Structure 1
Amino acid sequence: MMMKVGFIGLGRMGAAMASNLLAAGHEVTVWNRSPGKVAALLDRGAIRAASPADAAQGEVVMTMLSDDQAVEEVVFGTAGIAGTPALHVSHSTIGVALAERLADGAGPGGFVSAPVFGRPAAAEAAQLFVVAAGEASALDRCTPLFDAIGQRTYRVGDAPPAANLVKLSGNFMIMAAVEAMAEAMTLAEKGGVPRRTLLDVLTGTLFGAPIYKTYGDFLVEDRFRPAGFTAPLGLKDMGLVDAAASASRVPMPLLGIVRDHLRTAIAIEGEDVDWVAAGLAVRRGAGLG
C-alpha cells in the first residue's frame, strides 16, 4: 500500500531510509537544512518540500535528526511540523524528556517514537532494527514504512518515551562493550597475545554477538575513520543516558568512564572520529600507541 510520507533529516542514515521508502513505492517528500543533500533523492523520484511543515502534509512525517535541538527546531520552530495533520514518527536518538514533550504536544496525527539500531550500512541495506512505541493504531499505520527500512520492528509499549529509553540503554551497552573489549585487548596485548587472537577466541566461544564482532574488528584494526557514528554524537547520547539516570535516581558508574573516554578521543583524535575510538584511551593509558 503506497503512503504519502514526509522525511526530514537527510544525513547518511536519513538519506538511506528515505531512499528505501522510495524503493518500496511510497510517495516521499523530503526536507533538509542543507538543501544540497536533497538532490540525489529528487533524482530517485522524491518531492522537494519548501519547509518542514510542507513535508508534513501527507499521512506520516518521519524525522531523523542529530540531536534534541534539531528536533525541537523542526517541530516547534518557524514553519515546523507541530499542528500539521501528519503522524509524526521520530527516528532520532533524543532524550526521554523531549520524547514526553513531543507526545504531549502532538498534533491531530499523533506521535510515535521509533529510534533505530544499526549503522549506515544497515540503513542502506534496509536492515535496521526499529524500536517503536505509541498507540497501537498508529504503530499499525507505520508497519509498511518500518518494513521498508528495517528487518524487524520491536513494539515496546504505548508510551512513546519507552522507545527512547530502550534506544539510550542500547547505546550505553554498546559503549560498555567497547570499553570492556578495549580493556581486555590491552591486557592481552601487554601480555604478548595479539588483539586479533583474543577477539577470535572470545567471539568464537562466549561472545559471539554481532556487537562484539563488529566493534571488535574496529578496535583490532584501529579503524576509526571514516566514522559511521561520530564520537561527539556518542557523547551526546551518553549525556542523554545520564539525564535519564539522574531523573530516575539510577547509579551508572560505568557511564562516567565511558563519557570520559569519549571526551579523550574527541580531544586527541578530533570530532570526525568514530565513537569506538573511545577504546584508544585505554591503550594510551597502558602506554601503547
Structure 2
Amino acid sequence: MNETIGFIGLGNLGLPIAANLLRAGYSIAVYNRTASKAESLIAQGARLATRPVDAVTTGGIVATLVWDDAAVESIVMSEGFLEKLGQGGIHISMSTVSPETSRKLAAIHAQHGSVLIEAPIFGVAEAAVARQLLIPVAGPQNAQERVRPLLEAMGGQNIFDFGEVVGAATQVKLVGNFMIVSAVQTLREALSMVEKNGGDPKAVADMLTQTLFAAPIYKNYGRMIAEKKDAAFSQSRIPLKDVGIFKKTAEQVESPTPVSSLLYDLLSSGEE
C-alpha cells in the first residue's frame, strides 16, 4: 500500500469511495473541480491535487468518477495526464459513459503505454459506506488483477469480470441503469393508479415486492414511492443522462429502442 492512488471526482459517490480507500490504509491524492469537497479527506490524510495530473503517479493507478463522457475525456486529455501516467499506468474509469467513449480512451491510453480498466458502479452513497457496491469490470486481465484489491477496498462487495474487451462493463452498467429507471417509472405509474382509486399503495407494494417482484430495486423503490420518499431520484439528472446514453448506444447498432425512447421523452418532459 505504499504507492499513492489518484482519485478524481468527489461527488456523492466518489467522496465515500475515496474515504474507504483511506480507511483501508491506502495513500491517496485527490482532485475535484470544487476543491472544498476534499476537505474531509484532507483531514484524514489525503493529499490535495490542484490539477488532474497532480493526482497521477508514473506507472501508478488513478481512478476517475465524474459526470459523463465529456468529463472523463477532458481529464484524460488534460495537460500531462497521459504522459505522466505512462508505461504500466492504469486508469480505472468508474463513470457511467458510453462503450464508444471507453474504447476511444482505451486506444489513446495504449498509445502512451497505459491501460484503461472499466469499473462502473452500481450503488448509492449509503451502499458505498456499507461496502455493498456491485462493480462490473472489463479490460486486460493483468491490470484487472492489479486493481481488484483497490476495488474491494473502495467498497466492492461483488466484482464481476466481463472479460478483456473494453466496452463490455459499460454496456452492463447502461443496461442495469435502463432497467432501474424502467422499474421506477412502472412503480410510480402503478402505485399512483392504486392511490387515486382509494387503495393503499404501501400495502400493494409490500405484497408484490415480497412475492412476484421480490428484487432489491422493486423493494427499495416501491417502498420509497409508496411513502413518497423518492424525491432524490425524481429530481436527479442521472436517469435522463443514462437513458440517453443507452438509447444512443442501441441506435448505433440499429437495436430497437421503443421503451428507452419513451422513457427518454418522459424524462425530458419532466413527466417521469
Q: TM-score, normalised by structure 1?
A: 0.87
Counterparts of 2:230 and 2:203, CA distance in 1:
20
Counterparts of 2:148 and 2:93, CA distance in 1:
14
Measured against aligned partners, the alpha-carbon deviations of 1:59-99 in whole angstroms (never above 9, x if no partner) come to 20000001111111111123444662331000000111110
Report the RMSD for the aligned CA atoms in angstroms: 1.8
Measured against aligned partners, the alpha-carbon deviations of 1:190-214 in whole angstroms (never above 9, x if no partner) come to 4332110110110111111110011
Counterparts of 2:70 and 2:134, CA distance in 1:
24
- Checking the alignment, whether the CA contact within 8 Å between 2:188 and 2:225 is kept in structure 1 is yes
2:39 maps to 39
Alignment of 1:77 with 2:81, yes or no, is: no
1:68 maps to 69
How far is the alpha carbon of 1:25 from its aligned partner?
0.7
Counterparts of 2:209 and 2:148, CA distance in 1:
34
Unaligned 5+ runs, structure 2: none
1:222 maps to 228
- Checking the alignment, whether the CA contact within 8 Å between 1:51 and 1:80 is kept in structure 2 is no
- Checking the alignment, whether the CA contact within 8 Å between 1:4 and 1:28 is kept in structure 2 is yes
1:101 maps to 104
How far is the alpha carbon of 1:221 from its aligned partner?
2.0
1:210 to 208, 216, 235: 216
Alignment of 1:175 with 2:181, yes or no, is: yes
Aligned pairs, number: 266
1:187 maps to 193
> What are the within-5 Å matches in structure 2 for residues 249-260 of structure 1?
249-260=254-265
Measured against aligned partners, the alpha-carbon deviations of 1:243-268 in whole angstroms (never above 9, x if no partner) come to 11011111121112211222233xx8
Alignment of 1:159 with 2:162, yes or no, is: no
1:142 to 139, 147, 157: 147
2:122 maps to 117
2:6 maps to 6
- Checking the alignment, whether the CA contact within 8 Å between 2:117 and 2:139 is kept in structure 1 is yes
Counterparts of 1:28 and 1:83, CA distance in 2:
16
Q: Secondary structure at the match of 1:116?
A: coil
Q: TM-score, normalised by structure 2?
A: 0.92
Give the residue type in structure 2 aligned to 1:185. Answer: L
Alignment of 1:238 with 2:243, yes or no, is: yes
How far is the alpha carbon of 1:187 from its aligned partner?
3.0
- Checking the alignment, whether the CA contact within 8 Å between 1:64 and 1:92 is kept in structure 2 is yes
Percent of pairs with identical residues? 37
Measured against aligned partners, the alpha-carbon deviations of 1:167-192 in whole angstroms (never above 9, x if no partner) come to 00000000111122122223333433
Counterparts of 2:92 and 2:40, CA distance in 1:
23
